[in-house]
Amino acid sequence: MTRDSGGGPHITNTAVDCTADYLIQIGILEGDLNVTLSVGQPPPDDDAPLAAAERRLARSLLLRWRAEADAWDMADPEPLPVRWTPSRRVASAGEYVPVGSGADTIAGTFLRLRPRRRLVVLGSAGSGKTVLSVLLTLELLARRLTQGENDVPVPLVLSLESWDTRRQSLTEWLVDRLRQDHPGLPPVDGVHPARRLVLERRVLPVLDGLDELPGHRRAEVLHALNAGLGGTGDAVLVSRTAEYERLDQEGKGLRHATVIESLPLRPDEVADYLRRARPPARAAVWGRLLETLRTKPSAPVAWALTSPLMVWLVRRTYERHPADPGELADGERFPTRDAVEAHLLDRIVSAAFPPRPPDPGRLHPPRSWDAERAGAWLSYLALLLSRREESELAWWRLYTAPLPRLLAGPALLVTGILLSLVIKAGMSGYAEDAVLGDLSVTLYVSGGVIFAALARSVTASWFGQRLAEPRRSANPLLFIGALRSLDRHTRVGPLVRLAALGGGPALVVLLLFLYVFVTPDPVLVWFSVGGVLPVLLMIVYAAPADTVDAATPDELLRGEQSALVTTLTLVAPLIGAGAGAFFWLGRGSGDWGAAVGAWAGASATLVLLSPWSRWVLAKCSLAATGRVPWSLMTFLKDARTAGLLQLAGGTYRFRNRRLQEHFAGRRAQERGSASPGPGATAVPALLQSRDVTVERTADHYRLRGRSRRLPLAHWAVFGTIMGVFVVRFSVSGQWQDPAVWPVLLVWPFIGVVITVTGFLLPPRRLELELTRDGVTSVIGRRRVSYAWRHVEEITVRRAIVRGRDARFYALQVRLLAGAPRPPRRSRMGEGWFFVLPLGFSPRVDPQLGAALADFGGSRWTASSGGR
């Protein structure tokens, strides 16, 4: 306020960026009142575009998970009454549990966690932990979108199988998944908003599948998760109880987390839920079952329906006429809980693949599969696994089924003959001008087959048994990464690796130097370009993939296809170029026929002997006979989405062991054959002999016997030789010569002679002695001993002889670091050493198992049938 020239006050009020609705001047006005209003632009809201992207993401996820919940009847007519409690089996479970969490919703419990929102949801198979995580996701999204709680993060449900912790941090993985799964989010500052959403902690990772990971990866994932969350990050982790409890006891659990366990459903709650969920027109039919649940909580059906999985099966199985749910209350027909569950499991396939199209709003909607045929396919796969005493279904091992193995030779021969006709038609013009006619084409193709077989044999010596596994996704430009993968999977020593990888390129340079400056012999060029260099590239780009650490089986299949294309575009052309250079340099004129013929022969060999060709043979032969569907990988993916299968690294396995045994038993019954139950024990071949004697005292156990040999390991070598010979015989066109056909019988004849001769030899002595000091075995004249102080673990595993699967099981030990190593012939690979052969089953006689547990203590681990 100032005074004007007349002595009166001059009042000035200035409002800049003011939000006031009224201006009140208090006092006596003597003069003019001047009000100056300066209107400016409001400060820009930098978070508005990001908030819009966040709302778009939340709406998309809400629609998606509503479709998933509807597919599983999780919220029809209301959410299943799954309860939980703070875990008492995990050390830190109750540290941050708020009072009264047992009666609150899962989202309310999570949002009240302090000082961090970290929740671990545990439970057994089928106990409802996945239902809890989905209900948590839906409620958080509903609070965010419909109740206006903007401080609620957007839950992002992810499977841990897709996180490669060695390559990506938690932040980078979340950013990458947001970009891949939600590419249509509105951009912020011209770029995808994924990074800002993650860095500003606007998304909540809800991580499932920890128990589906291999054992060593679980600890790695939790370590990376703890590092990525830091001290303030929030997360939800879902796992089976046993797997997480083991990690927590080792101090590897999720830090600062609240741990809850899903509780079994109560019969009265299940009765109320089914009463509301049943079709109104069928109320009378459901009356008997509901009455049993309310009045007889100890009935077998009441115990069976404590699992959300079984409740879902009851709904799906008995929702339509003429199915009668009251039959489950029949105590004479279903006297035990297992009987009820077995009856419901018989109908799990029809429940998982309903005869109606899936909701298009689901993320990965399964195809419409015929339930009866789908059950038959799953039963065959389960029986195949049970016969092998395995639980992992790997697509690259499907060729070991009886039918593909039986058809391998004929299929290889027929395919080679067809290829020879194509090669002959393509090179007919060259054959007419060549001096030797068709024989010249035969020689060139045979040369390509031989050089490619040489490269493959060297690669087999380098990688051993793992050459039958899918190869890593090969990128010729990422040569250093290929070298690292090569070094990680090799079975040769460091000196051999150094000599091969260092001396191989030096040999190529030396041979070319000799040709240019010493003697112009074209053989030097042929040997270097068409021989040594293809072998080196074959080794580098044929490294097996990390099948255990792989994200999905589909990625492994794509990696094998990529590696096959890489070898065809690098290895085979070099073999052809070497042959063409030899004739061109020797004759002084171009000879494209030699190059094309050698390339064709090498390409045929690399394709026909690859894991991909074995996979195609297995899938086509089994699909043609109705054992599996033609689109097998799609079916397995849909079965996993439906909850019948789960992922184990790069392989599938049934949801639990009981489900696998159920399907396998049903297949065996359909075929009229007996199937051993889960408790059956296959007696080792050694203990089946009549000459076996067992001596047992408090400090001594000795097993003595004699066993005949049954040599089978040579068939792996002979099989490779026969495969190469069949490819060369058929692709080169030699099949047209009748005199060559008898040669095909030579290798099988030699293999049979070796096997029969070994079996007819006198039985060899076998002994196993266990004491408090160690274990000793005697096989014929060979004796080997291991002191317990040097043994880390003793178990039964598949025997690996010189890098190849010997097709039988043996007692093996793993030694501690620094322990004396036995002779080289006892090495089984991966740090294991041979003790005693036991036969064709991994199961151990109970008496022998008890002795191993007594003398070996915690070192003894009962085998589950794996390698």
CA angle, 582 as apex, 581 and 588 as ends, to 5°? 80
Q: Judge residue 263's burial from the number of C-beta atoms within 10 Å of its C-beta, 0-12 exposed, 13-18 middle, 19 or more buried.
A: middle
Whether 94 maps to a domain, the answer reads yes
One DSSP character per residue, 769-798 reads EEESSEEEEEETTEEEEEEGGGEEEEEEEE
Is pLDDT at 620 greater than 90 in this prediction? yes
* Structure confidence at residue 569 (pLDDT): 87
Whether 738 maps to a domain, the answer reads no
Which of 236, 262, 288 delimits the end of a domain? Answer: 262
One-letter identity of residue 513 = F
Which range, of 123-132, 625-634, 779-788, averages the lowest pLDDT? Answer: 123-132
Residues 407, 550: one domain?
Answer: yes
511: which residues sit within 8 A by CB, 6+ positions away?
Answer: 524, 525, 527, 528, 532
Buried b (16+ CB within 10 A) or exposed e, 681-712: ebebbbbeeeebeeeeeeeebbbbbebebeeb
Residues 434, 569: one domain?
Answer: yes
CA gap 719, 80 in Å, rounded:
56
Residues 17, 57: one domain?
Answer: no
- Identify the bridge partners of residue 380 per DSSP, sorted by sequence position: none
Residues 137, 218: one domain?
Answer: yes
CATH of residue 157's domain is: 3.40.50
Tell me: the pLDDT tens digits for 123-132? 877 677 777 7
Q: Which residue has the higher pLDDT, 648 or 140?
A: 140
One DSSP character per residue, 505-520 reads HHHHHHHHHHHHHT--
Is pLDDT at 588 greater than 60 in this prediction? no
Q: Which domain holds residue 187?
A: 53-262
Q: Which residue has the higher pLDDT, 652 or 114?
A: 652
CA gap 115, 431 in Å, rounded:
82
Whether 398 maps to a domain, the answer reads no
Whether 359 maps to a domain, the answer reads no
CA gap 185, 192 in Å, rounded:
7
Residues 832, 808: one domain?
Answer: yes
Whether 224 maps to a domain, the answer reads yes
- Identify the bridge partners of residue 775 per DSSP, sorted by sequence position: 770, 786
* Structure confidence at residue 845 (pLDDT): 79
Whether 8 maps to a domain, the answer reads yes
Cis peptide before 402 (omega within 30 of 0): no
Residues 239, 275: one domain?
Answer: no
Whether 367 maps to a domain, the answer reads no
| H or E, element range at 522 | helix 522-527
CA gap 756, 749 in Å, rounded:
11
Is pLDDT at 444 greater than 50 in this prediction? yes
CA gap 809, 795 in Å, rounded:
10
* Structure confidence at residue 100 (pLDDT): 38
Residue with tokens 């043994």: 791
Residues 415, 320: one domain?
Answer: no
Alpha helices, DSSP H, located in 791-867: 846-856
Residues 61, 158: one domain?
Answer: yes
Residues 92, 238: one domain?
Answer: yes
779-801: average pLDDT: 84
Task: Find the helix packing angle between 553-587 and 438-463, rounded to 10°.
Answer: 130
- Identify the bridge partners of residue 36 per DSSP, sorted by sequence position: 14
SS3 label, residue 764: strand
Residues 33, 109: one domain?
Answer: no
Q: Judge residue 20's burial from the number of C-beta atoms within 10 Å of its C-beta, 0-12 exposed, 13-18 middle, 19 or more buried.
A: exposed
Residue with tokens 């639980």: 391
Whether 357 maps to a domain, the answer reads no
12-30: average pLDDT: 49
Q: How many CB atoms lie within 10 A of CB 820?
A: 8
- Identify the bridge partners of residue 123 per DSSP, sorted by sequence position: 240
Residues 489, 432: one domain?
Answer: yes
Tell me: the pLDDT tens digits for 243-288? 888 888 888 888 888 888 888 888 888 888 888 888 888 888 888 9
Please give the tally of structural domains in the chain.
Answer: 5
Which of 229, 262, 295 delimits the end of a domain? Answer: 262
Which of 577, 603, 618 delimits the end of a domain? Answer: 618
Tell me: the pLDDT tens digits for 732-744? 777 777 777 777 7
Residues 804, 697: one domain?
Answer: yes
The DSSP call for residue 263 is: P
CA gap 159, 212 in Å, rounded:
10
CA proximity to 34, closest of 60, 15, 51, 11: 11
Separation in Å, CA 866 to CA 397, 795, 809, 826, 863: 13, 11, 10, 20, 7
CA gap 734, 717 in Å, rounded:
23
Q: How far apart are the first and last CA of the chain?
A: 93
* Structure confidence at residue 475 (pLDDT): 62
CA gap 168, 172 in Å, rounded:
6
Instruction: Give the highest mean pLDDT range of 84-98, 171-185, 225-239.
Output: 225-239
Tell me: the pLDDT tens digits for 67-100? 777 766 666 777 777 777 777 766 555 444 543 3
One-letter identity of residue 188 = V
Task: Copy the structure tokens of residue 85.
Answer: 């409690």
Dmax (CA) of the chain: 136
* Structure confidence at residue 675 (pLDDT): 39
One-letter identity of residue 259 = V
Half-sphere exposure of 395 (CA within 13 A, CB side): 30
